[in-house]
Structures are given as C-alpha cells and as structure tokens.
Amino acid sequence: MAHVRRQTGTVIWFSGAKGFGFIAPDGGGEDLFVHQSAIRAEGFRALSEGDAVEFSVDQADDGRSKAVDVTA
C-alpha cells in the first residue's frame, strides 16, 4: 500500500453501530469512505461528526477511494 502523503479532512457522518462513515477532504474532491478498522485508536474505534482527522488514501476493491490509517 503506497501512500503519497497524509491528508486532512472532517468527518461528515459516522455510525458506530454500522462501523463506517465518510470524511470530506479539506482539499475538496469526493467524500471518502472510512471503515472502523482503518481508525488508529486504542479500544473502541469510532469517529464523531465534525471531528478533524488525518488520513491516507487507498483504493478499495471496487475501485473507489477510501480513507485508511485514520487519526483524530
């Protein structure tokens, strides 16, 4: 997994029950899918709407971009 550079963005929606959500990159472009397994945190991994996050971008199996290695 080759990451070009870390990006920043804001969580626009996250469901702890479903374990996924979406991040709006600060630089614009498409909203990025984020799965709870991509969040770097101790214990329960979840994000809240409005959280500022830093992340890398990778390509999902379906070809769409997703956020990985996410930190709040």
Which domains, ranges and CATH numbers included, belong to the chain?
7-71 (2.40.50.140)
R_g of the chain computed on alpha carbons: 11
The CA distance from 11 to 2, in Å, is: 23
The pair of three-digit structure tokens given for residue 23, joined into one six-digit string: 């991040």
pLDDT for res 12: 98
Provide the token pair at 44: 């329960």
**What pLDDT, in 10s, does the model give residues 25-56?**
999 999 999 999 999 988 889 999 999 999 99
Average pLDDT value for residue range 58-72: 93
Write down the mean pLDDT value for the chain.
Answer: 92
